[in-house]
């Protein structure tokens, strides 16, 4: 076989392997297995019956596909009006693609020196040079002026080993400095969908509490998966805690002391203002009800309120122990919460309509901050170890098995699932060199592994919660 033929065969095999890996999630989804109850599914593999289809944790894997290079973007406007937009688009897109974990972005230092000279059309690109630098995919982009004087962003993606253009990812949109980021997010999510079988979640947001330093006001903020464009939700100069996403993920709820009592607000409206604690709110999947912890009768108990009016609909717990941190199952039928009724904080599950709570025997002695997966039977939570630091774990509701996700690296707390169950955001003191052990926010695959820091300020970050779609 000639060298050319061997190289061609090698390229075909490599692309076939990448295509096969990328199609794994599609195959898992294509094999639709109807169900009536959880017993119809493979519970020992973490599957659950959701909306009459067996759903499993393995349908939501994040795996490295290949290295993408983002070439310098071109400004093709006649008066160089697009210079800053082109440079900004390149930087933003590198951050977005890298934050998905599916792609590793080629460092700028590894790009060929001819990158800016070769043009952005396929016939002028030196694909072999890009391949020798370690890139498998190549993004080319330009800013152009339209006939009406507006600026347009144009994007192309090429597979460098074959020189093939992925036509399904051709992209063109009118942009301004204010809309550039949102258009790049829209395209990057399509890139994830093209190669992983399911769209990306870069358009979702993460809410959290942030404090500049101890003793200063704690405010609620939101940011994206890559940590850019951090925006305040509250600016009231008070103590604001435990954000959550209200119905349909439009407004953010939180507990605030701005009226001298820990009241629950959604947006600027007070939803629950009972005397003493109104804390740890979470809406059910259809947004009609909200579960939270109230201490209006002298002890922390779990209640369910009307999601719109805040009127109490029912009380779920009645025990001298402290009950807190409710989280709904994806079908809205059960709620997991924390209680110290057995002597130390443990996880319990109760029907959302009421009944006797069930102790979830995780095998750990101090468990807090549960968050039920949006698609299955897995519950993420943190547990304290003997050194006083927390680690993040998964508990399988059907098998009763517990799996540890984080190891060492400071104290890891407050896990929250992404809406597609592929990722998890959490707070951690890992990497902190301050005596105060500053918490930052990290994102990792929901199966554990390497975590990426997304927050960028020297501040204290806590209790992140991921938005719905």
Q: Is residue 288 part of a domain?
A: yes
Taking CA atoms, 243 is separated from 140, 150, 253, 412, in Å, by 39, 39, 6, 18
**Same domain as 378, residue 233:** yes
Six-digit token pair at 424? 């998890």
Are 138 and 279 members of one domain?
A: no
Q: Is residue 38 part of a domain?
A: no
- Of the three residues 143, 172, 196, the one that is the final residue of a domain is 196
Condensed to tens digits (0 to 9), the pLDDT of residues 30-76 reads 356 787 776 787 766 656 555 566 665 455 678 788 999 999 999 99
Per-residue model confidence (pLDDT) at position 50: 53
Domain-embedded: residue 49: no
Q: For the packed helices 83-99 and 180-196, what is the interaxial angle rounded to 10 degrees?
A: 40
Same domain, 263 and 116: no
Range of the domain at 368: 206-466
DSSP 212-225: SSTTS-EEEEEE-T
If asked whether residues 149 and 242 sit together in one domain, one would say: no
**pLDDT at position 248:** 81
Residues 150 and 7 in one domain: yes
Angle of CA points 42, 346, 450, to nearest 5°: 65
Does 151 map to a domain? yes
- Is 356 inside any structural domain? yes
Q: How far is CA 24 from the centre of its chain?
A: 21
CA distance 429 to 413: 9
Say what the pLDDT of residue 38 is.
64
Q: Are both 96 and 188 inside the same structural domain?
A: yes
Q: Is residue 32 situated within a structural domain?
A: no
Last residue of a domain, one of 196, 221, 238: 196
Residues 293, 441, single domain; the answer is yes
- 317 & 188 share domain: no
Question: Nearest-CA neighbor of 22 among 67, 58, 57, 63?
Answer: 63
Residues with Cβ within 8 Å of residue 167, at least 6 apart in sequence = none
The values of phi and psi at residue 422, to 5°, are -85, -25
| Predicted TM-score of the model (pTM) | 0.85
CATH classification at residue 86: 3.40.50.10070
Pairing of strands 301-306, 312-315: antiparallel
pLDDT tens, position by position, 342-386: 999 999 999 999 999 999 999 999 999 999 999 889 999 999 998
CATH number for the domain spanning 408: value is 2.120.10.30
Does residue 150 lie in a domain region? yes
Q: Are residues 225 and 176 in the same domain?
A: no
Residue 308, classified by CB atoms within 10 Å of its CB into exposed (0-12), middle (13-18) or buried (19+), is middle
Please tell me whether residues 163 and 294 are part of one structural domain. Answer: no
Considering its fold, how many domains does the chain have in total?
A: 2
Helix (H, G, I), strand (E, B) or coil at 331: coil
Distance CA 260, CA 281 (A): 19
User: What's the rounded Cα separation, in Å, for the pair 121 and 92?
Assistant: 22
56 found inside a domain: no
Which residues of the chain register pLDDT less than 70? 1-32, 38, 43-60, 434-435
Strand partners, 143: 75, 153
Q: Is the dihedral of CA 251, 252, 254, 258 positive or negative?
A: negative
Which one of 146, 176, 196 terminates a domain?
196
Q: Count H helices, E strands: the chain?
A: 4, 33
* pLDDT for position 469: 83
One domain for residues 311 and 443: yes
If one counts every other C-beta atom within 10 angstroms of the C-beta of residue 424, the result is: 26
Q: Same structural domain for residues 298 and 380? A: yes
Instruction: Collect contacts of 150-153 with beta carbons under 8 A, ≥24 apart.
Output: 150/174, 151/77, 151/81, 151/82, 151/85, 151/175, 151/176, 153/85, 153/89, 153/180, 153/183, 153/184
């Amino acid at each position: 076989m000639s060298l050319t033929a061997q190289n061609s065969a090698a390229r075909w095999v490599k692309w076939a392997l990448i295509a096969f890996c990328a199609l794994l999630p599609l195959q898992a989804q294509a094999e639709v297995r109807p169900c009536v109850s959880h017993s119809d599914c493979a519970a020992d593999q973490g599957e659950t019956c959701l909306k009459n289809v067996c759903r499993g944790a393995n349908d939501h894997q994040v795996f490295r596909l290949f290295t993408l290079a983002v070439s310098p973007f071109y400004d093709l406007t006649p008066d160089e009006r697009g210079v800053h937009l082109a440079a900004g688009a390149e930087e933003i897109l590198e951050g977005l693609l890298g934050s998905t974990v599916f792609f590793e972005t080629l460092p700028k230092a590894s790009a060929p020196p001819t990158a800016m000279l070769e043009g952005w059309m396929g016939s002028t690109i030196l694909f072999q040079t890009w391949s020798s630098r370690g890139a498998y995919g190549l993004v080319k982009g330009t800013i152009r002026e339209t006939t009406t004087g507006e600026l347009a962003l144009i994007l192309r993606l090429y597979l460098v080993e074959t020189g093939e253009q992925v036509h399904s990812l051709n992209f063109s949109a009118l942009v301004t400095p204010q809309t550039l980021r949102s258009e790049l997010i829209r395209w990057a999510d399509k890139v994830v969908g093209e190669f992983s079988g399911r769209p990306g979640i870069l358009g979702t947001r993460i809410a959290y509490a942030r404090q500049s330093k101890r003793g200063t006001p704690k405010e609620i903020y939101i940011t994206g998966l890559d940590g850019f464009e951090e925006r305040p939700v509250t600016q009231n100069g008070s103590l604001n805690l435990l954000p959550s996403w209200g119905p349909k993920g439009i407004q953010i709820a939180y507990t605030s002391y701005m009226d001298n009592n820990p009241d629950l607000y959604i947006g600027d409206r007070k939803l629950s203002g009972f005397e003493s604690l109104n804390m740890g709110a979470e809406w059910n999947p259809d947004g009609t009800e909200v579960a939270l912890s109230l201490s209006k009768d002298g002890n922390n108990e779990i209640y369910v309120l009307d999601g719109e009016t805040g009127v109490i609909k029912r009380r779920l717990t009645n025990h001298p122990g402290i009950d807190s941190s409710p989280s709904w199952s994806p079908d809205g039928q059960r709620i997991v919460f924390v209680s110290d009724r057995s002597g130390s904080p443990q996880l319990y599950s109760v029907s959302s309509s009421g009944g006797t709570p069930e102790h979830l025997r995780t095998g750990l002695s101090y468990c807090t901050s549960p968050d039920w997966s949006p698609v299955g039977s897995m519950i993420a939570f943190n547990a304290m170890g003997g050194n006083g630091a927390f680690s993040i774990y998964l508990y399988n509701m059907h098998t009763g098995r517990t799996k540890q996700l984080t190891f060492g690296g400071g104290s890891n707390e407050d896990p929250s699932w992404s809406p597609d169950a592929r990722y998890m955001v959490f707070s951690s003191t890992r990497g902190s060199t301050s005596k105060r052990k500053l918490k930052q926010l990290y994102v990792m695959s929901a199966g554990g592994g390497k975590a990426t820091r997304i927050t960028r300020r020297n501040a204290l970050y806590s209790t992140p919660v991921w938005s719905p779609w």
